[in-house]
Amino acid sequence: AIPIHGVPGTSKERTFIAVKPDGVQRGLISDIIARFERRGYKLVGLKLLVPSKALANEHYADLSKKPFFAGLVDYMTNGKAPVIGMVWEGPAVIKQGRVMLGATDPTAAGPGTIRGDYCLTIGRNICHGSDSAESAEKEIGLWFGGKGEIVNWTANNDEWVVSDN
Ligand code: IDP
Ligand code: MG
């Protein structure tokens, strides 16, 4: 059985991708899902929730000393809109997920990326993606710890999307 956080460096690599409340509020859930789905990545976890303060604090623990931290946690948790949490699987999905999101600061994000196409400022950058294998493991465990929340499944077209050589 593969671990819920996948196996980095293989076709079973997994990453945590989220649509933040501004992305949900603006009706961008389907576009963000579509980009990963069409690329060929496999959705293995999906939920809609208003994260608790504890969850947001832990998720962004590495930023806890930053001046924008309180505002960031409020934005994620105040319930004005929920968050979509997802786990996507496939070759190099951690790195490629970040490429598809674009730069953290949308003023530096290129066209064709999610942030480059849909947003303007760093405090409302509509999406999240794990930045390393270590982050993916931590974040998948944090957001999808419950039994059965990650689904291992075979797509009928897997052999047409991923080759082992
Ligand atoms: P990332 O989301 O691209 O991984 P991080 O540096 O990990 O970027 O920051 C996490 C999130 O914190 C950003 O996506 C953004 O929502 C928020 N953030 C980062 N820097 C700033 C800032 O200077 N002002 C306001 N919010 C920020
Ligand atoms: Mg980050």
The model's pLDDT over 113-129, given as tens digits with 9 standing for 90+, comes to: 999 999 999 999 999 99
Mean pLDDT of 72-78: 98
When the pLDDT of each residue in the chain is averaged and rounded to a whole number, the result is: 97
| Whether the Cβ atoms of residue 89 and residue 14 lie closer than 8 Å to each other | yes
| pLDDT level of residue 147 (50, 70, 90 thresholds) | confident
Ligand 1 in reach of 125 Cβ (< 6 A) = yes
100: helix, strand or coil: helix
State if pTM tops 0.95: yes
Our answer to whether residue 128 is catalytic in this structure is yes
Ligand 1 in reach of 131 Cβ (< 6 A) = yes
